[in-house]
């Protein structure tokens, strides 16, 4: 559903998303909604929409970098909007969480990406997000059952680099990023290379940096779609120094920067910038115009330009049964259950 003639879009921020929601409303010429949230003494969430939503398209803005803390309030706001007569309730989640657990890696694990997708799909009419971290899913539509608008921040990331970095050398985090970082480099008009990454776990990453002697004198720019633990960028920055390069500029779409990763990376970098998909002091690249433009247009879903972290895997019969056995009451096909 678009915000065409006769349709009013009202943008409500969930806590912590006020700046993005205000920028989105301004960029799109949308109405700004007011929502009251608080906690009862026992910790339960209270939500009240203070702006009339009857007959309007409601956009709830919530970057899901900390989903466990605020998801129930988000659900309550969506249900309230629908109960109060909204014609559409959309989730605008510049960062979409719960994408990493896309299969059962160990016996008994919850496939949380499917669980979370089911909850979101049951709550909203539409999902708008930026560069979701697709691992084994080719598209969000293979996971979410509601229409999705998948936007891509690589062009605005490239434009920031072109405007702010002299003689850049674009460096991708791993071999799977080659197509993604090459597109950024082409838009910037700069050379690029990619690292070789070997991950041993959530907090242990080995990075191999190729010989970059041919580009000595250029400013290295480490570009990635997400900095969560920050280990890849930290290790790459350390090894670039060993080859005599200046401290790199680090440019990311989703700046999570868990624990002390930002402080560690800052000591090795000349500058760290991120989009405002996740609120952080490094936010320097605004996504509101991109999102506003998408909300104002008729729905379309595209995955061109997404950085796929690995190609979809071909699963054997047993793996496929475990992968598809959600909800748990559905028997795997090979049991003839």
Residues that are catalytic: 197
Element (H, E) at 57: strand 57-61
Question: Can you tell me whether residue 277 is helix, strand or coil?
Answer: coil
Distances (CA, A) of 167 to 219, 246, 251: 6, 12, 15
Retrieve residue 143's tokens: 């996971």
Torsion of CA 222, 224, 230, 236, to 10 degrees: -30
Cβ neighbors of 224 (< 8 A, separation 6 or more) are: 172, 173, 177, 232, 233, 251, 252, 253
Q: Note whether 235 and 212 are within 8 A (CB).
A: no
Buried b or exposed e, range 12-23, using 16+ CB within 10 angstroms: bbbebbeebbeb
Distance CA 197, CA 232 (A): 8
Distance CA 46, CA 77 (A): 9
Residue 326 burial (10 A CB sphere; 0-12, 13-18, 19+): middle
Distance CA 24, CA 26 (A): 5
Retrieve residue 64's tokens: 């899901």
* Backbone φ/ψ region at 86: left (φ over 0), alpha (ψ -120 to 50), beta: beta
Distances (CA, A) of 260 to 172, 178, 215, 265: 22, 28, 31, 9
29 DSSP assignment: T
């Amino acid at each position: 559903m678009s915000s065409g003639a006769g349709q009013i879009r009202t943008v409500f921020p969930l806590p912590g998303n006020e700046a993005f929601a205000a920028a989105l409303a301004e960029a799109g010429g949308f109405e700004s909604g007011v929502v009251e949230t608080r906690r009862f003494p026992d910790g339960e969430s209270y939500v009240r929409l203070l702006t009339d939503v009857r007959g309007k398209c409601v956009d709830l803005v919530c970057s899901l970098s900390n989903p466990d803390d605020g998801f129930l309030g988000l659900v309550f706001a969506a249900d309230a909007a629908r109960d109060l007569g909204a014609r559409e309730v959309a989730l605008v989640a510049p960062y979409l969480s719960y994408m990493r657990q896309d299969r059962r890696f160990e016996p008994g694990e919850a496939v949380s990406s499917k669980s979370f997708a089911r909850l979101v799909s049951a709550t909203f009419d539409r999902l708008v997000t930026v560069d979701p971290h697709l691992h084994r899913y080719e598209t969000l539509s293979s996971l979410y059952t509601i229409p999705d608008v998948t936007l891509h921040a690589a062009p605005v990331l490239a434009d920031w680099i072109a405007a702010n970095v002299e003689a850049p050398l674009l460096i991708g985090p791993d071999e799977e990023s080659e197509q993604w970082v090459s597109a950024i480099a082409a838009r910037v008009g700069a050379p690029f290379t990619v690292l070789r990454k070997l991950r041993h776990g959530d907090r242990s990453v080995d990075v191999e940096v190729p010989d970059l002697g041919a580009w000595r004198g250029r400013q290295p720019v480490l570009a990635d779609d997400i900095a969560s633990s920050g280990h890849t960028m930290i290790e790459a920055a350390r090894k670039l120094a060993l080859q005599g390069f200046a401290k790199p500029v680090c440019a990311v779409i989703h700046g999570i920067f868990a624990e002390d990763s930002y402080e560690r990376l800052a000591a090795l970098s000349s500058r760290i910038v991120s989009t405002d998909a996740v609120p952080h002091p490094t936010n320097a690249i605004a996504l509101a115009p991109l999102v506003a433009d998408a909300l104002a247009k008729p729905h379309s879903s595209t995955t061109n330009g997404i950085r796929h972290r690995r190609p979809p895997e071909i699963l054997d019969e047993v793996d496929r049964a475990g992968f598809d056995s959600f909800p748990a009451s559905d028997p795997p096909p090979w049991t003839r259950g």
